[in-house]
Amino acid sequence: MEKYAIILAAGKGTRMKSKRDDISKVSFPILGQPLVKYVINALKPLGFKKLVAVVGFGGKTSEKIVKDECEVVWQLEQKGTGHAVMMAGPVLEKLEGETIVCCGDTPLLTTETFEALFKAHEENGNAMTVMTSILEDPFGYGRIVKVNGNVTKIVEQKDATEEERAINEVNAGVYVFDNAKLFEALGHLTTKNAAGEYYLTDVLGIFVNNGFKVGSYPVKDPDETLGVNDRNQLSIAAKIIQKRINKAHMVAGVSIEDPDNTYIAPTVKIGQDTTIAPGSYIMGNTVIGEESLIGPNTTLKDAKVGNHAKVVMSSVSNAEIKDGEEIGPFANVK
């Protein structure tokens, strides 16, 4: 069955507190890579027929980031998540298959989790599957209400009864739909709510009323579902990604002396038996060979470093350090 993805990347991100109107929330970087690129890179291995990015506020910035890998549609007016998905209609509404809808500000979600979500959706014969988290303290989150194991509604904190507030399975804001049923249901959404917006979550009620099966998939690691809504959450996500990247390099044979004080972009390649000393920032498309020493207190950006080389207390940008060459301390190579 064909798979499609809709990435919601149109939000202003008011809580990011930026004065610039050319920066979208999903363009904020972690280790030099925009938030939305983490989402795209996690989705791509699943072999989607179409990836559609919905852009809006700061859209020209977002479009530039995603246009090489996604079809871009515009949400020129901010009328809710349901309205954002409607914007993908001209690209997807006539197609058969499964569509995932996710947000461009969730950089911690992994390919494995997306794959498991689709597997649960297909194995259970669902028309809609909601990604969820199981939380010890679910306060403030939309609760997943079930009958006989099937999801019947999502209830927000302020609207929940005492019994519903005791539910610890909460909405993570990622959904898989039968594509044809999704776009049929979108045509029945209304703006009869306090915000005057089209809510994507209202599709769930339409599905249930039509007798379609709605299920949930609880993620194994609730941290993955963290959305970045302010700069504090950006820093939390950045620390988790930093640890993931550093761990992957160490498992592959790179020595990182102080992982908490080493910052490596997701696009960097490092050879075996190379040592990275504390205070190193390795960004862009940097490639480092084997048995080299980088750091301490060194910055590399889009650099190429050969085998058995040393770069100590220096900065190298868009330059090549050859095999066995030693740079620093206090060098600035461009």
Active site residues: 15
Written as six digits, the tokens of 31 are 């280790």
State whether residue 309 is helix, strand or coil: coil
Contact 88, 43 (CB under 8 A): no
User: Phi/psi of residue 97, each to 5°?
Assistant: 145, -155
Written as six digits, the tokens of 161 are 């009864």
* Burial class (CB within 10 angstroms; exposed 0-12, middle 13-18, buried 19+) of 23: middle
Amino acid at site 283: M
- Dihedral (CA of 99, 100, 102, 107) sign: negative
What does DSSP say about strands 169-178 and 262-264: parallel, antiparallel, or unpaired? unpaired
